[in-house]
Structure formats: C-alpha cells, structure tokens
Amino acid sequence: MRGVLREVKTVKARNCVARISLIILVLVTAIPVVGSGAESVRRPKGIILFIGDGMGINQLRSAAIYSRQILNKPLVIDSIGTIGMTTTFSADSEITDSAAASTALYSGHKVNNGVINILPDGRQVFNIGHAAKKAGFSVGVISTTRLTHATPAALYSRSPHRDDENFIADQLPEFEPDVAMAGGLAYFIPRTREGSKRKDDKDLIEVMKSKGYRYVTSGSDLKAVDPSATRKLLGLFALSHMAYELDRVNVPELANQPDLASMTMVALSILERNPRGFFLMVEAGRIDHACHGHDIKASIYDTLALDEAVRRVLEHQKTHADVLVLVTADHETGGLGLGTGTEYTLDIAALRPIKNSLEYLHRRILKQPGDLDSILKSGGFDLNDKERALVSKYAPGQSPDAVPELSAYKEKIKQYVFSWIHYALGLIESDRARIGWTGFVHTAQPVVTYAVGPGEEEFSGYYDNTDIAKKMAKLLGLILDPPASDSKKAP
C-alpha cells in the first residue's frame, strides 16, 4: 500500500514537474532566442539605454545614501542583479569626453575626444541608431541637456566638432527619430527669434512639423499627448539645457518642465507600438554638469530623477518582459570621493536643507548681489561664521580665473566654475557632506553597467564601452555596418 502510494505521489510529482517544465518552456520560447545550443540567449524586442552623464559609482552611492537616509527608500538601480564594469577611454585619451564616449556606446568605435561618429582617419561610423532605422525599428532620444549636446547628438548626427551645434541640429530632420525630447530650442529656431543661437533663418521646428511631428514645449503639453495617437514626437523644453532636477522641484517657474520619468514613459508608449522593435536612449545629462561645478546636491537629485525613470520602466517591464533595460554612464566626472581628511565620517544627510543648484544660486546672486544673504538663506545655505568668512573673501561675481586659489587653471576653469560665489558654495557644500573632488574634469574611472531583461547575462563582467554597442546590436539582431569609406568624408 505504502509502495503504491509512493508510486502515485511520484507520478503526480512527475506530472507536476512536466507541467511546470511546459509552462517554463512556453514562457521562455515566447521571447526570441539569439544563437544556438548552450550559447543561446533570449532576445529583446527593444532596448532602453539609460546613460547617467558623469555618473560614476560614487555619484550613484551618494544618491543611494541620500535616498536611504532622507527619503527612506533604496535606489532602484541598486536592485538590478546583473552588473558589469565598463572602461571608457577614447581614441586619443585615457580620459574620454562625452562625444567620444557616446560614439563608442552607440557604434562600437573609438573616436577622438570632441568628435561625433567620425574615426581618426576621417571615415564615418554607422551606429545602432542608423542600424535600427535601417531595419525599420523605432528610435527615440531623450536628454535633460540640449538635444544637440554630445550624448543625444551622437545617436543621430556626425560632426568633427561637438560644439558645432547648428550643424548637429540640421541633421535631426534627416535622421528623423520617432521621438526626441530634451532642451536646446535655441538651435532649432531662426536667428531673428529671441534666444536663438542660429546664424541663419532656418526654422527646424517647422521642418519637423512638416514631417508629421507633434511638437510640445512643456510638461503640461506632454501630459496632453496621447501616445496611441502619436507617431512622431518632438519636445524641446528649454532654450538651453533643461533645469537641474533640484531646481525643477523647488523653483515654481521651472516646475512645468517634464521630469525624466514622464518623458521616458511617453516615449516608450510610442516606440513599443512598432512590432519590428525599438531603441530608446535616455540621458540624465546634467549629473555631469553638477560634478564639473562640484555641486553634490544637484548631482544627487539628477541621479534620483534617473532612478525614478528606471523604477517606472522596471514596473512597466513586469507586463512587457521583452524589453531589455540597461543603465550605464559615459564616464565619471570630478573624481568624486566619499570621505576626506583624517576622520571616518561622511555626512550626506547634511545636504538636506539645500534647495537649489549652485548654478541657479550663482545666477540669482549675480543679478541681485545686494540680496546675497537672503538668496543664500532661501537656497538652504544658512552660513556659519567660517563659511561667511570664506564667501566674503572675494566679490561674488569675481571671475574664477582671477581668484588666486584657482589661477593655476587659467582661462579653462571658467568652463566649469562660473564665479567666485559658485566656487565658494561648492567648497561649503562639499565640506558639509565630507566629500572631495580630484579635479574639474572627467576621470578615467571605469563605470558600472546594469542590465535587466532578456539578454541581461551578456552584460556581466569587465568590458569596454565599445562592447556595449556590439552586445546591443547582437541582441536586437542589428548589423553595425563597417565605417563608410573616405569618399563619404564629413565636411
């Protein structure tokens, strides 16, 4: 009897195992597979590539500590199980700039710093954006910087000089991404229009509209977009870069710019309607700017905005399992160190009262130097005596290259630090949090790449930024054509 019972149980268990195996088989085969046998991997229908510009491991860690200590929640990015380390050097430097880094991330080729999608020998590269378009995929590009800034620009343009932003803007209607959202309106409107940075009368907004784009300029505009009825979307939400997240949430005039998560979700709803597949790049572009100016609080808030966008996408992934989500950085900025001096202390929570970016405070103070104290107080800088003595050392608007402490950096320092008050507040903020910076530029530090979704296993290990383009292309079944010959040399 016992033997029979055992037999029955075993048969039941076998049936159960078989049924579970069948369910697993159905689930697994619902997602296409690349390769064969032991090497086969699940293949995504679409990839969302999040790039934190300048987001090294310590930019993430400081945001995680702030989030845990002040907001009582962990960083969602930290929950992603598959991670890799990524090297970022460019063709001509161990320290990459954003143009060379994003070219590598999208195309798999190293170029010189400052160059977008053109090899040192002059040949033009063919990247994942071009390959996706050619294969009939939908393509989206989102950034909190100007749309013509290096990281978004490298997806849709080629330029020997990243600073030639009019030339880059001209290439947007040629490429025709399905969705493009960022700042940078100044490069898309004719020179006669207020705030324009163009040297001609081209109106690229009109050109885009004539190509069927729905055009939006604010967060409320974006909310009104029905993704199911929108095929092509262009959003330009500021003349130059969009606001730092810290200012967007605290300055009423900036509150109508959309946050990164809203832009991402609208783009995703439009792009994923394409049955062929899609590629979406989402850049939190201003972590880099904050760190160039030694503004840890602004860096933390822009990193948290990126984390929120990732959270929304991972939520969406629960019902759309065919999307691969990647989070990486193009490089680290500033050489951020979490700890200074001789004490084992880090006080990220001390940043809690600070309500504005240093760049915003610098602009306000330069406009109204007489209101220095009240502006600082409203921005969360209630100065102690030592801090007040530091701030009063020079005039707030003193050019940084004329500050003796910074004179060694000559003219170049003005690209990163805009005035004495900007620099002094950075010192105060960093000192309060007990953090430090090795410089004002990018560093050679490898960055972390996170992956979740079909094909995620490809992204574990130690690899170069060029490998990310190759891995993404392989998973999407796209071919990154070899660079075009010299006959197609860029101007």
Minimum distance, C-beta of residue 40 to Zn ion, in the bound complex (Å): 35
For the chain, helix, strand, coil in percent to 5 are: 45, 15, 40
Q: For residues 170 and 288, which CB has a smaller minimum distance to Zn ion in the complex? A: 288
Residue nearest to Zn ion (CB): 98
Q: Is the dihedral of CA 323, 324, 327, 329 positive or negative?
A: negative
CB of 288 to Zn ion, least distance (A): 5
C-alpha distances out from residue 234 to 112, 184, 267, 385, 456, Å: 30, 12, 10, 49, 30
Q: What residues have CB less than 8 Å from 295, skipping those under 6 apart?
A: 357, 358, 359, 426, 429
CB of 442 to Zn ion, least distance (A): 7
Q: How far is the CB of 326 from Zn ion (least distance, A)?
A: 16
**Minimum CB distance to Zn ion, residue 112 (Å):** 15
Q: Which residues bind Zn ion (CB under 5 A)?
A: 53, 98, 288, 330
Alpha-carbon gap, residue 459 to 440, rounded angstroms: 30
Q: What is d(CA 150, CA 98) in angstroms, rounded to the nearest whole number?
A: 6
Pick between residue 162 and residue 202 the one whose CB is nearest to Zn ion. 162
Rank residues 62 and 333 by Cβ distance to Zn ion and give the closer one.
333
Identity (one letter) of the amino acid at 231?
R
Helices 420-433 and 358-367 pack at an angle, to 10 degrees, of 140
Query: Judged by CB, which is closer to Zn ion: 137, or 450?
Result: 450
Please say which residue, 165 or 288, places its beta carbon nearer to Zn ion.
288
* Nearest to Zn ion of 67, 143 (CB atom): 143
Torsion of CA 335, 341, 342, 348, to 10 degrees: -70
Q: Which is nearer to Zn ion, 114 or 160 (CB)?
A: 114
210 vs 222: CA distance, rounded Å: 20
Q: In this structure, are residues 353 and 382 in contact, taking their beta carbons and an 8 Å threshold?
A: yes
CB 36 → Zn ion: shortest distance, Å? 38
Work out how close the CB of 102 gets to Zn ion at its nearest, in angstroms, rounded to a whole number. 7
